[in-house]
Amino acid sequence: MHRMEYLYLVPYAIAGTLIASTLALAPALHVYNIAGIFILIALGAQNWIGGDALAMLLLGMIIGYAMLNTVSAIFLGAPDDSTIFIVLPGQKYLLMSRGYEAAVLTGIGALGGVAILMLLAPFAVTIFVTLRTILLPHLHWILAVITCYMLLAEWPKGGDHGATGLARLWDAWKGLGIGLLTFVLSGILGIVLMYKSPVPLEMSFQNLLPAFVGLFAVPWVLENILSGTEVPKQHISKTFDAPPGVVARGIFSGALGGLFAAFFPVVTGGIGGYLAGHATAQRDDRVFIISQGASKFLYYVGAFCLFFLPAARITKGGMAGMLATIYTPQGTGLFYTVVAMIAVCGVLSFGLLLGYSRLAVWLVERVNYRYISLATLGILFALVYFMTGWGGVAIMLIATPIGGLPILWGSRRLNCLGVILVPITLNLAGLGPTVAAGLGILR
């Protein structure tokens, strides 16, 4: 095998990065939406673009997206399932004139994620194949345990006021109750989508798009419109208040969470980062933002990288899942080409992050934030309609009030992930159809 054999793949990866980096600026436009369309096109065009080239294009796309999707989360306030934890500290930074700094901190975390992937690559086969052998039969209860922790570790945010103990308990439990209700309603929505989705069959790979947009992006955008958020003049800083110790702690914590999320089904970068943040007892906003950057990068890119593992081919994540239907990667050479491209495209997309963040700063400084939010809402609606039709719009409209509950009551937005955690945990335990029948969804 010639050692330059894979060199022709480099432009595809770079092209993918450039495409996705730009598309990542559109709020809630997930890389999987575009990748799904690419794969549909590639199905009919496999003669002119080979499997390896398509895989490399998608790799570049996922790298660009994983690095740049924070821009829309921070500056437009439209998060998805993996950036839900970034949007809150990110918007706080934005309101303190430090939006650019927040975006760059996530990028630094993502660059740390690149380094972690480089370091792990030689050991990846041994580690992940062994872990998969041991843990695969236990996934259902591990997911249940993660869910239990998420729900149990939400603590009351009220309870000071009330003449009696019961009155204070009620005050405290209002938010917790709403958190549980959010989880249950999201879970039921997830079961409905799994068994009786109104999304047309030909667009079924976009099944979760309207739910995610409704649960995560629309409520936040609506909040920005209703509250009349005003963004102050932003400061483009040349230096950052992040000493090496802070960066190292953020990357370490994010790497743990991201790798966990990359490996475990259903666990997103946000959940992984949240668990790792708890496990490593971090309290610093900067550490948190850096860790979320590293976590979501490793979640998206790490999961896709596992697909290329020689002799293992672990299919985790939407991108690998879609690609696996038409393509099988082969060879150690391709795996190391993937690793090298992660480094090249990771650095390239970091450069793009700096540029696009400045562009976003320019935008929020010149256009009224309410108009930006209204335009974002319009884009979200159009995206859902064009991708999934009126059925998808209906799902989005149902999901929006569920996603709005945590915002109105101050409970945890993470509970909206019941939409994937509940149906998949039940299915892995073999209980999915029984529960769906119990809810009257299946007959």
Partner 1 sequence: MKGISHFATGVAVGTFFPEAVHAALDGSFILALGGIGGLLPDTIDFKFARFLEQPDILIDPHPEQFEAQKIADEIAAGIDRVRETRKRLILKCNTIRLGPDWWQQYSLKFDTQAREVIVKLGPIVNTSQLPLPASLRNVPEGRANIQAPLLPAYDEYIEVDIFSGPSFALEWRNERVEIDFIPWHRQYSHSIFMAVLFGLICGLLFGVTAGLIGGLALLAHVLEDQLGYLGSNLLWPLTGVRTNGAHLIHAGDPIPNFFTVGTSVYFIIFNLDRFSAQPTLDPLFFWGVLWLPFPIALAYFFYRKFETDIRKKIPLLSQQERDLVAELNEVVDA
Q: Tokens standing for 96?
A: 């303190």
Q: How far is the CB of 407 from partner 1 (least distance, A)?
A: 9
Contact between 193 and partner 1 by CB under 8 A: the answer reads no
| Interface pick for partner 1 out of 3, 155, 230, 233 (rule CB under 8 A) | 155
Nearest-10 crossing angle of helices 51-71, 10-23: 30
**Cα–Cα distance list, 270 to 28, 140, 297 (Å):** 15, 20, 11
Query: Using CB under 8 A, which of the segments 6-14, 105-113, 168-176, 369-377 binds partner 1?
Result: 168-176
Nearest-10 crossing angle of helices 84-95, 285-297: 140
Contact between 135 and partner 1 by CB under 8 A: the answer reads yes
Contact between 235 and partner 1 by CB under 8 A: the answer reads no
Query: Using CB under 8 A, which of the segments 11-19, 71-79, 349-357, 423-431 binds partner 1?
Result: 423-431
What gap in Å lies between CA 189 and CA 194, rounded to an integer? 9
Helix, strand and coil percent figures for the chain, each rounded to 5: 75, 0, 25
Toward partner 1, which CB reaches closer, 229 or 330? 229
Query: Using CB under 8 A, which of the segments 10-18, 141-149, 303-311, 371-379 binds partner 1?
Result: 141-149
Q: How far is the CB of 249 from partner 1 (least distance, A)?
A: 8
DSSP states of 1-39: --TTTTGGGHHHHHHHHHHHHHHTTSTT--HHHHHHHHH
Contact between 156 and partner 1 by CB under 8 A: the answer reads yes
Closest CA to 62 of 251, 268, 320: 320
Toward partner 1, which CB reaches closer, 157 or 370? 157
| Interface pick for partner 1 out of 161, 233, 238, 443 (rule CB under 8 A) | 161
Closest CA to 266 of 213, 305, 321: 321
Toward partner 1, which CB reaches closer, 24 or 172? 172
Size, binding site for partner 1 by CB under 8 A: 47
Toward partner 1, which CB reaches closer, 354 or 431? 431
Query: Using CB under 8 A, which of the segments 14-22, 31-39, 129-137, 368-376 binds partner 1?
Result: 129-137
Query: Using CB under 8 A, which of the segments 41-49, 130-138, 321-329, 330-338 binds partner 1?
Result: 130-138
Toward partner 1, which CB reaches closer, 202 or 230? 230
Footprint (CB under 8 A) of partner 1, residues 253-282? 275, 278-282
Number of residues that this document lists for the chain = 443
Contact between 433 and partner 1 by CB under 8 A: the answer reads no
Q: How far is the CB of 171 from partner 1 (least distance, A)?
A: 8
Q: What is the 3-state secondary structure (H, E, C) of 236-289?
A: CCCCCCCCHHHHHHHHHHHHHHHHHHHHCCCCCHHHHHHHHHHHCCCCCHHHHH
Contact between 1 and partner 1 by CB under 8 A: the answer reads no
Contact between 132 and partner 1 by CB under 8 A: the answer reads no
| Burial group, residue 389, by CB count within 10 angstroms (0-12, 13-18, 19+) | middle
Q: How far is the CB of 169 from partner 1 (least distance, A)?
A: 4
Toward partner 1, which CB reaches closer, 160 or 202? 160
Closest CA to 373 of 235, 234, 233, 230: 230
| Interface pick for partner 1 out of 130, 325, 368, 434 (rule CB under 8 A) | 130
What gap in Å lies between CA 3 and CA 331, rounded to an integer? 13
Contact between 324 and partner 1 by CB under 8 A: the answer reads no
DSSP states of 316-378: -SHHHHHHHTT-----HHHHHHHHHHHHHHHHHHHHHHHHHHHHHHHHHHHS-HHHHHHHHHH
CB 106 within 8 A of CB 150: no
Query: DSSP character for 82?
Result: T
Q: Going residue by residue from 56 to 95, which x/- string records binding to partner 1, judged by CB under 8 A?
A: ---------------------------------x--x---
**What residues make contact with partner 1 under the rule CB under 8 A?**
89, 92, 96, 130-131, 133-135, 137-138, 140-141, 144-145, 148-149, 152-162, 164-165, 168-169, 171-173, 176, 275, 278-283, 285, 410, 429-431
